[in-house]
């Protein structure tokens, strides 16, 4: 009888230890910042106000261009978007960012959009990122947005 209780105790302690190690590893991974996000945070253009104004002016011109011209286009760089987002996003679209979210950034590479935000509350301090792909569809005037990956730090869902 004692042999069985001893084995069960060892098994339970082992399972508990494995659980603690798993949780510790997961929490540690949420604290790591993805490389693309770290680069985007530190590579803002020297004149963020100028880049932000250029983006805002281009966006404000869009409705007029669409109505006036048969063929139109708009081009915005990731640097311009990253310069505009810290101030423009909360001001123009406050519903898009949670109160605990800050420092939104994007990186455009290899046909995909990597978007991330810093998320902090009293229990959590991590970066949350998504990998997005924009694709043309067979239907006219329709784009598809595919969400490939959600990560908290380097912890992938």
Cβ atoms 55, 62 nearer than 8 A: no
How many Å apart are CA 117 and CA 120, to the nearest integer? Answer: 10
Q: Give the single-character DSSP code of 96.
A: G
HSE (side-chain half, CA atoms, 13 Å) at 72: 13
How many Å apart are CA 42 and CA 46, to the nearest integer? Answer: 11
pLDDT value at residue 30: 66
Q: What is the pLDDT of residues 8-59, one digit of tens each?
A: 888 888 888 888 887 777 667 667 777 777 777 766 666 677 777 777 777 7
Q: What is the pLDDT of residues 80-133, one digit of tens each?
A: 888 888 777 777 778 877 788 888 888 888 778 888 888 888 888 888 888 888
Location of structure tokens 């311009």: 80
* Pair type for strands 155-156 and 125-136: unpaired
More confident call, 2 vs 12: 12
- At residue 156 the predicted structure's pLDDT band, cuts being 50, 70 and 90, is low
Kindly give, in sequence order, each residue whose CB lies less than 8 Å from that of residue 102, ignoring residues fewer than 6 positions away: 86, 117, 118, 120
Cβ atoms 74, 62 nearer than 8 A: yes
How many Å apart are CA 147 and CA 130, to the nearest integer? Answer: 7
pLDDT value at residue 118: 84
pTM: 0.63
């Amino acid at each position: 009888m004692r042999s069985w209780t001893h084995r069960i105790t060892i098994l339970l302690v082992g399972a508990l230890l494995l659980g603690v190690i798993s949780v510790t590893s997961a929490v540690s991974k949420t604290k790591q910042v993805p490389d693309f996000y770290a680069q985007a945070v530190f590579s803002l253009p020297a004149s963020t106000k100028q880049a932000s104004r250029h983006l805002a002016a281009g966006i404000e011109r869009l409705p007029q261009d669409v109505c006036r011209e048969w063929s139109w286009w708009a081009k915005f760089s990731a640097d311009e978007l990253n310069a505009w987002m810290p101030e423009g996003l909360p001001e123009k679209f406050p519903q898009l960012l949670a109160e605990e979210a800050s420092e939104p950034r994007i990186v455009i590479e290899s046909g995909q959009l990597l978007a991330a935000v810093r998320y902090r509350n009293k229990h959590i301090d991590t970066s949350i990122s998504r990998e997005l792909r924009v694709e043309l569809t067979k239907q006219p005037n329709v784009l598809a947005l595919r969400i490939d990956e959600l990560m908290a730090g380097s912890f992938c869902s």
